[in-house]
């Protein structure tokens, strides 16, 4: 049966040859995830490098799992893999699973019924056929890839499921071990396929963070880029309540304003906006209003500042640092974090190995060492230490 589906895949992606199926996805990744760093790199002082190496760094959003490459192997495309993340002194990286992207995707209006870009990508990558036509299975296949990488190299990659896992990782890194913690998340709640039972399935697979929507409205409610601008549906409210009880991080990065307000009204929620910019600093339809961002922070959440030009209005480390400074002005230094969106079909001024360029830019921006330590990861570690489930129940 799978052989017949594989044969059909070639027809569905345009009668492509085996060579196209093998080589087109890497080509697409290279074109869609450019690094705008100059050939000689961004200048980084000895002072900045020393500070950078002393930091506990975390990032709230990477889509590297989408591209079906071995995360344990360093490659010359895209923004991140485990070797480059470790070179950049990353302690904890959130890896999200992307399962659907509408044809003609844009920041303004997308139809739920629009064609899907991820289906042909998964076929072209020759992912397991069970993932071709099921959003749940598409998420689980990516989760399995992360689990497989961690199993093959436990000394360099660990999956974080509980606050005890996080504490152990940070203690081991403080003792000198070069190991990356991976937190598994979902880019949108549509892999639940409208069934509450699937939240348990995903939780058991290791998911500890979930965005409620992505670029289109779904069963949970309205997207910032959808058609209805709706708030939480009844199903969405049930999902949010269950996520709170299970210690899962609620991500509002692509939520409609009405959904943001509805989530904040649910008792016990401490949502984040994992990857965004600040609207007053960079007017963009991708960025939520300052008022809503401030309300998320006031509820005890985090604001993850993205690295790509659409949300920070520039393509240099200084532009990212400027957005971080604007976020601190808006919500305070205790609620700002990194949300790169690495490998998410966006540009970045540096890849993971050259993250020290951001530390330099933050120094140049005038942030203190304590502020830099909070933004680069301290705030994220504090938040996760409070929100993640306890291993002892």
* DSSP per position, 9-35: HHHHTTS--HHHHHHHHHHHHHHHS-B
**pLDDT for 21:** 37
Q: Residue 303 forms beta bridges with which residues?
A: 273, 336
Residue 122 and residue 119: Cα distance in Å, rounded?
Answer: 5
338 φ/ψ angles, rounded to the nearest 5 degrees: -95, 140
Q: DSSP alpha helices (H): ranges in 179-220?
A: 197-204
DSSP code, position 38:
-
Q: Residue 262, class by beta-carbon neighbours within 10 Å (0-12 exposed, 13-18 middle, 19+ buried)?
A: buried
Residue 183 and residue 286: Cα distance in Å, rounded?
Answer: 24
Q: DSSP alpha helices (H): ranges in the chain?
A: 2-12, 18-32, 46-54, 82-87, 118-124, 135-152, 163-174, 197-204, 234-246, 257-264, 290-298, 309-312, 317-331, 356-365, 369-373, 379-387
- In this structure, the dihedral spanned by the alpha carbons of residues 271, 101, 123 and 204, taken in order and rounded to 10 degrees, is 20
Beta carbons within 8 Å of 74's beta carbon, 6+ residues apart: 81, 83, 84
DSSP code, position 376:
I
**pLDDT for 23:** 56
**pLDDT for 28:** 84
H helix count then E strand count, the chain: 16, 9
| Strand 180-186 to 57-62 pairing | unpaired
Residue 52 and residue 351: Cα distance in Å, rounded?
Answer: 15
Please state, in angstroms and as integers, the Cα–Cα distance from residue 157 to each residue in 46, 86, 93, 160, following that order.
28, 10, 10, 10
123 φ/ψ angles, rounded to the nearest 5 degrees: -65, -45
pTM of the prediction?
0.93
Question: DSSP 3-state helix, strand, coil percentages of the chain (rounded to 5)?
Answer: 45, 15, 40
Contact yes or no for 123/146 (Cβ under 8 A): no
Beta carbons within 8 Å of 99's beta carbon, 6+ residues apart: 118, 135, 138, 139, 186, 187, 188, 190, 191
Q: Residue 4, class by beta-carbon neighbours within 10 Å (0-12 exposed, 13-18 middle, 19+ buried)?
A: exposed
Residue 58 and residue 354: Cα distance in Å, rounded?
Answer: 14
Residue 206 and residue 301: Cα distance in Å, rounded?
Answer: 22
**pLDDT for 114:** 82
Tokens describing residue 240: 């949010």
- In this structure, the dihedral spanned by the alpha carbons of residues 225, 231, 235 and 239, taken in order and rounded to 10 degrees, is 80
Q: What does the angle CA 198 – CA 199 – CA 201 come to, to the nearest 5 degrees?
A: 60
- Work out the angle between the directed axes of helices 356-365 and 46-54 (0-180°, nearest 10): 110
Q: Kindly tell me the sign of the dihedral angle through the C-alpha atoms of 273, 277, 281, 287.
A: negative
For the chain, 393 residues long, give each residue's pLDDT as a single digit of tens: 333 333 333 333 333 433 343 457 788 888 999 999 999 999 999 999 999 999 999 999 999 999 999 999 999 999 999 999 999 999 999 999 999 999 888 898 988 888 888 998 898 899 999 999 999 999 999 999 999 999 999 999 999 999 999 999 999 999 999 999 999 999 999 999 999 999 999 999 999 999 999 999 999 999 999 999 999 999 999 999 999 999 999 999 999 999 999 999 999 999 999 999 999 999 999 999 999 999 999 999 999 999 999 999 999 999 999 999 999 999 999 999 999 999 999 999 999 999 999 999 999 999 999 999 999 999 999 999 999 999 987
């Amino acid at each position: 049966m799978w052989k017949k589906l594989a044969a059909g895949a070639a027809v569905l992606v345009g009668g492509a040859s085996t060579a196209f199926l093998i080589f087109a996805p890497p080509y697409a990744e290279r074109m869609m995830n450019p690094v705008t760093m100059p050939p000689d790199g961004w200048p980084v002082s000895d002072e900045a490098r020393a500070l950078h190496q002393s930091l506990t760094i975390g990032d709230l959003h990477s889509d590297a799992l989408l591209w079906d490459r071995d995360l344990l192997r360093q490659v010359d495309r895209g923004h991140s893999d485990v070797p480059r993340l470790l070179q950049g002194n990353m302690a904890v990286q959130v890896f999200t699973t992307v399962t659907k992207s509408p044809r003609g995707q844009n920041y303004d209006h997308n139809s739920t019924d629009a064609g899907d870009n991820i289906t042909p990508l998964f076929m072209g990558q020759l992912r397991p056929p069970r993932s071709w036509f099921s959003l749940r299975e598409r998420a689980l296949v990516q989760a399995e890839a992360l689990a497989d990488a961690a199993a093959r190299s436990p000394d360099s990659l660990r999956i974080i499921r509980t606050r005890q896992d996080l504490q152990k990782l940070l203690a081991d890194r403080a003792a000198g071990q070069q190991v990356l913690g991976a937190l598994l998340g979902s880019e949108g709640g549509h892999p639940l396929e409208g069934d509450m039972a699937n939240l348990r399935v995903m939780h058991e697979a290791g998911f500890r963070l979930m965005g409620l929507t992505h670029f289109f409205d779904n069963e949970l409610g309205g997207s910032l880029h959808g058609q209805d601008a709706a708030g939480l549906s009844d199903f969405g409210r049930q999902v949010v309540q269950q996520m709170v009880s299970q210690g899962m991080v609620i991500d509002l990065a692509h939520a409609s304003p009405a959904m943001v307000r509805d989530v904040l009204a649910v008792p016990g929620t401490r949502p984040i906006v994992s990857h965004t910019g600040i609207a007053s600093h960079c007017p963009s339809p991708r960025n939520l209003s300052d008022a809503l961002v401030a309300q998320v922070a006031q509820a005890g959440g985090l604001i993850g500042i993205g690295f790509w030009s659409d949300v920070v209005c520039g393509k240099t480390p200084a532009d990212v640092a400027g957005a971080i400074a604007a976020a601190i002005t808006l919500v305070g230094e205790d609620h700002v974090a990194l949300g790169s969106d690495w490998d998410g079909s966006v540009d970045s001024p540096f890849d993971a190995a050259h993250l020290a360029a951001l530390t330099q830019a933050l120094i140049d921006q005038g942030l203190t060492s304590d502020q830099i330590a909070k933004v680069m990861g301290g705030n994220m570690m504090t938040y996760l230490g409070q929100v993640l489930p306890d291993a002892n129940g």
